[in-house]
Structure 1
């Protein structure tokens, strides 16, 4: 069957929306103490469904980069660099301000910059986008392949040479402590350690480059059964490499090890191939508008979902936060704690979707 005509890239748009929906569910449980295992990150080494969310965002960023390179082709190098650096800087700034928000403590005093986390999810996306875009612009497909392999091997060597694979002793933590300082790092693991730190951003570039290569390859080969089969085979090969590599370099999301990159790229290729087969080859359309709506305002809805959590946590009802009051009153009052926690997260995701839907109806799209 010949490929059906699609929008800009419907499979990629759906992938983006699906990833955002899962991200919101993962990030907003009713209670962090009652989550089903797949909705929790691996404690240290290992892999869960939740560990696939962030690298999938990076993979989709790379896919979008492949689509935008044709537009960039008409720009001079100076114009291109100005565009991508501005976009990357804005994404980084949004992430930093998100961690600083609400800027004031409960007692009304200003939250000092000295204790604000600097690195984070959007910060990593911004940095990886800029670096991947520059690599693709000046190196093309071959440069993207070489750079992806090079950063993974170089990062492995740095981890092995200057530390170990433990939480307190890894090289990534040592770099962040030296450059950022403990007050500017994430402390949720019992000690200062940033899972989106400086050094561990290097291998994350490979996730973006993998998304670029996947979509660039589909652009050249077309959406055919053969393309889907080869993409599935590539995904399976990445998974085999990941689990073989795990014996020497553990799959670890917080360290963003090379084996983790191979694992997540493998699953992302399998998911993308499946979506291309269902949407472009089989003509599936049922349910897709739900994820398309999310995919059209991804950055704004991500920011909204995070800011709203902070607001709900700061507002109080009867001595407890509005966030917890809603969970306990609306869900925990009648459901099992684990189910109630999941239902709260799903309801929160649907509330964010309603905002995205309203914006789509009004043709309001927030772009950087």
Structure 2
């Protein structure tokens, strides 16, 4: 829904409503972090990969292109931090939302109903955005919004548990999901990879052997589930695999990422007004180390596309590191003014998400028509995507800035 007032982002205990009716100030570091996540997503419009192809000898453009695309399988690029960052911050915002509703006197039952409705809307919005170029509704659930929506109600319920039980549930979720994959039969030596759309080149470069083979592309537990589940819906053709390897069941370890964000939000409350930088730093190092240990021992690889438990730990650590860095610069060092451009985007993240998905072609074509390709190629044809992309990003920001000034915020 659209509201003319920003939601209160304070973090407080969830056990009882707060007596004071005065809302605390916004957490600028969290808003700026969310803004960075959305800018990275919207920045796809600058098409660094196209520029890198135009300048094949440039390491600069090759590095930028790498970090604006998802890695083929294991590992992480900067672009791969977008979905875990968005998910992590959704979890961090949960205490904010709950406390705001408690302050308004809402009952637990009403809040639960609202949370379930929000989950349905997120899933439906994800399906809608995936269906914009499809002749029929394209039922798929790997979209960022759908993945958050599928786990959001569970995160809401866990938010009311004691801290120890939040950690326990995180462990149960990740171990249970890992065990399900480990027990599913791994592909044999003579597996027909071509039949599931995996090229021989991909097999040679990225597929695992031994125990880690349980997490190979299109031959895993998650893909087997989707072959059954997604074919229950109307489709133009039978579902066999997602080209990128993305899965419906990834919402389960994605819930783990949301819980890590929930824990970060709780820490912000418990230590207020002091910023728990030490806790953030320890969590970042511990989680990344745990993810690397699982990856290099072959117990569970770090793969974002199928959101392995090791990926949840590794990317969760990266999110804690980002949050620590933003908190140090903005809250400790006091550089709040430089955070304003990101805050404009971060306080209206759903609007930014929709603008980038629904208005990109319209804005791009408008610039091409009204400015002309001669003007857009003033830096050279190879840099045309960059120039056009920067103009589009500026248009995105101006729209969001106008909404910010008018206090128009899209909430679900």
Q: TM-score, normalised by structure 1?
A: 0.83
State the 1:235 CA deviation: 0.6
Equivalent residues of 1:152, 1:206 under 8 A apart: yes
Tell me how far apart the structure 1 counterparts of residues 301 and 326 of structure 2 sit (CA, whole Å): 29
Gap runs ≥5 in structure 2: 1-23, 53-64, 187-213
CA 1:330–1:238: 2 relative to 1, 3 Å: farther
Q: What is the match of residue 334 of structure 1?
A: 379
Q: Secondary structure at the match of 1:180?
A: helix
CA 1:32–1:112: 2 relative to 1, 3 Å: farther
Q: What is the match of residue 173 of structure 1?
A: 223
Deviations 1:113-134 (CA, angstroms, capped at 9, x unpaired): 3x55454121112122222112
In the alignment, is residue 77 of structure 1 matched against residue 108 of structure 2? yes
Determine which structure has more spread, i.e. the larger CA radius of gyration: 2
Tell me how far apart the structure 2 counterparts of residues 330 and 46 of structure 1 sit (CA, whole Å): 39
Q: What is the match of residue 21 of structure 1?
A: 39
State the 1:261 CA deviation: 1.1
State the 1:31 CA deviation: 6.8
Equivalent residues of 1:121, 1:196 under 8 A apart: no
Write out aligned runs for 1:252-271 (5 A). 252-271=303-322
Q: What is the match of residue 59 of structure 1?
A: 88
Q: Choose which of 172, 183, 202 in structure 2 pairs with 1:161.
A: 183
Equivalent residues of 2:368, 2:376 under 8 A apart: no
Gap runs ≥5 in structure 1: 1-5, 104-110
Q: Choose which of 135, 151, 155 in structure 1 pairs with 2:158.
A: 135
In the alignment, is residue 40 of structure 1 matched against residue 57 of structure 2? no
Equivalent residues of 1:243, 1:263 under 8 A apart: yes
Equivalent residues of 2:253, 2:307 under 8 A apart: yes
Equivalent residues of 1:11, 1:280 under 8 A apart: yes
Q: Choose which of 224, 243, 252 in structure 2 pairs with 1:202.
A: 252
> RMSD across aligned C-alpha pairs, in angstroms?
3.1
Equivalent residues of 1:51, 1:253 under 8 A apart: yes
CA 1:347–1:264: 2 relative to 1, 3 Å: farther
Equivalent residues of 1:124, 1:196 under 8 A apart: no
Q: Secondary structure at the match of 2:393?
A: helix
Tell me how far apart the structure 1 counterparts of residues 162 and 373 of structure 2 sit (CA, whole Å): 53
Deviations 1:314-338 (CA, angstroms, capped at 9, x unpaired): x7x9xxxx8899997655663474x
- The total of aligned residue pairs comes to 343
CA 1:265–1:342: 2 relative to 1, 3 Å: farther
Q: What is the match of residue 108 of structure 1?
A: none
CA 1:323–1:238: 2 relative to 1, 3 Å: farther
Equivalent residues of 1:24, 1:345 under 8 A apart: no
